[in-house]
Structure 1
Amino acid sequence: ADNRAAVRQVLSGAIASDGVIDLFQAAGLGGQDVGILSEEFLGQLAGMPQKNLALETLRKLLNDQIKSRERVNIVQSQGFRESLEAVLTRYTNRAITTAQVIEELIGLARTIRDAVHRGEETGLSEDELAFYDALASNESAREVIADDTLRRIAHELADRIKAKATLDWTQRDTVRADMRRTVRRLLAKYGYPPDAQEAATQLVIRQAELMAEGVVS
């Protein structure tokens, strides 16, 4: 009961974009609003005397944040997931202290929070950035295709997939086949490495499916 009250006291003081909100309930239900990772909130967690409680709160909130980011950007969320697991593994193996793991998780929380603004910095929309990351995740593609070209492909992908937003996703096999043709033609048009096209196509289609699910839900 004392732990529950302590979490409530910390979380209820956090600031989100729309003002002070009770984040204890949000944390219990998922805490997927990136506003939950405000600097004030992170500072309160860092200063909690109950370090194990702060660690568990951070772990849960980061898990929720990463899960919610998957629909927005698969590649980005995978990177965040790997970072989280790496830090927690080091802690489990006693390579770092509780205070150190909290510090590293707070750093990851800031990275996740700031990722929302990455599209603004790159000049890409959120959808375009997701497709850009999918295309750029292949090392050989990055070596042979200029960054501006990858951005152009991402822009065209976003436009073409948006144009197919009215497709009936309950007919998943038909939609996938149509989208596969669209993606492969576009990758070939810009000289995307042939040996990397299949993996890129699958990743782009999966991202498009998650985006569509988000719209439907």
Structure 2
Amino acid sequence: MVNVMPDLNENSIENFAIDLLKSQGWDYAFGPDIAPDGVRPERKSFEDVILESRLKKALKIINPNIPESAIDDAVKQVKNLNFPELISNNEAFHRMLTEGVRVSYQKNGEERGDYVWLVDFENPENNDFLVVNQFTVIENNVNKRPILFFS
């Protein structure tokens, strides 16, 4: 008897990954729906790769004792990673994920330093897990579409 492997193509792999993540409790969004011109836009332009309002909402849940101004600063730092080499951007973002984003703010009239955590490793239910397919990014007039996009 011959084992026949089902057709493997980009669409079947994409759907498998989406279904797998959804079964793990992730939310799902179809990229064109949340695009700037979509039915539920979550981006201001096709250049945006971060779903900013979703990120801010999650950071407030993960970091309840951090003032909104410091949350805004952390989001700004994440969005403004702009090293000339991709590897440097990846390393800096990895540090933010694992070590937190360093912020400062005023508390009781004094400058205070703290960290904004991008991921709650101790309480995963506080995180906003989203898988998005067909997420179009336009950079330098070039359309790019990662197979899956995670938030």
Structure richer in strand, relative to its length = 2
Structure richer in helix, relative to its length = 1
Higher relative contact order (CA 8 A, sep 6+): 2
Q: Is TM (by shorter chain) over 0.5?
A: no
* Max Rg structure: 1
